[in-house]
Amino acid sequence: MKKIVILASGSGTNAENIVRYFEDSDLARVDAIITNNAKAGVIDKARKVGVSCFVIGNQSVADGELAKKLISLKPDLIVLAGYLRLIPQDIISTFPKRIINIHPALLPDYGGAGMYGKYVHQAVVENEDEVSGITIHYVSEAYDEGEIIFQEEVEIDFEDEWQDVEYKIRELEYKHYPAVIEYLLPDL
């Protein structure tokens, strides 16, 4: 059985979706969720779905506690689901091509520090883009610059507000992120 560890900073809707996707799987299970935010909604979601959740604050991440916890958990795949911190190089080196992220835009557009959630969707609307989408990629030393694994796009209507774009992107995330994880796991 493959082990997945999810890193999340916010509400945890993608994390919960991934946990539920693998609940009855013979391939993998979500072994733990780690958050850097002691007030994150993902903590309650983890409790609700019966997955261990650990809070490792930003300073503790910098002090190496995240690396120690990940090494002790021995995950086959580390999945970022709204984790808003840069992953330290030592973790990337320890888990090469075993850390993935989902970004709510078609990279390389709208990537980088500060480009997450509503900020991405607002930029898409302000620039009157006709399409947006999701990118699932390997995590590298820089925000949103790792090798692209999968992209899917959705049309943006001229009357869409950023909240409409967010809804469309969220639907893509829920549909595709667990399936891409499942596709990657057998080779790990």
pLDDT digits (tens, 9 = 90+) for 114-154: 999 999 999 999 999 999 999 999 999 999 999 999 999 99
Strands 2-8 and 28-35: parallel
Q: Which residues, 6 or more positions from 128, have their beta carbon under 8 angstroms from its beta carbon?
A: 158
What is the model's pLDDT at position 134? 98
Is position 155 within any domain? no
What is the model's pLDDT at position 183? 97
What is the model's pLDDT at position 75? 98
User: Is the Cβ–Cβ distance between 65 and 54 less than 8 Å?
Assistant: no
Query: What φ, ψ does residue 89 adopt, rounded to 5°?
Result: -55, -35
Low pLDDT (below 50) residues in the chain: none
Q: Which residues, 6 or more positions from 178, have their beta carbon under 8 angstroms from its beta carbon?
A: 17, 18, 21, 22
What is the model's pLDDT at position 157? 96
Is position 111 within any domain? no
Whose tokens are 């080196």? That residue is: 93
The domain that holds 144 is classified in CATH as 3.40.50.170
Is position 123 within any domain? no
Is position 93 within any domain? yes
Is position 67 within any domain? yes
Question: Can you list the positions of beta strands (E) in 9-88?
Answer: 28-35, 52-55, 77-80
Domain that holds residue 142: 2-102+136-150+173-187
What is the model's pLDDT at position 25? 97
Token pair belonging to 4: 């997945």
Is position 119 within any domain? no
CA 178 to chain centre: 10
What is the model's pLDDT at position 47? 96
| pTM for the model | 0.96
Distances in Å between the alpha carbon of 3 and those of 26, 72, 159?
11, 12, 43
Q: How many domains does the chain have?
A: 1
Is position 90 within any domain? yes
Is position 32 within any domain? yes
Distance from C-alpha of 113 to C-alpha of 50, rounded to nearest angstrom: 32
Distance from C-alpha of 140 to C-alpha of 71, rounded to nearest angstrom: 18
What is the model's pLDDT at position 88? 95
Residues noted as catalytic: 103
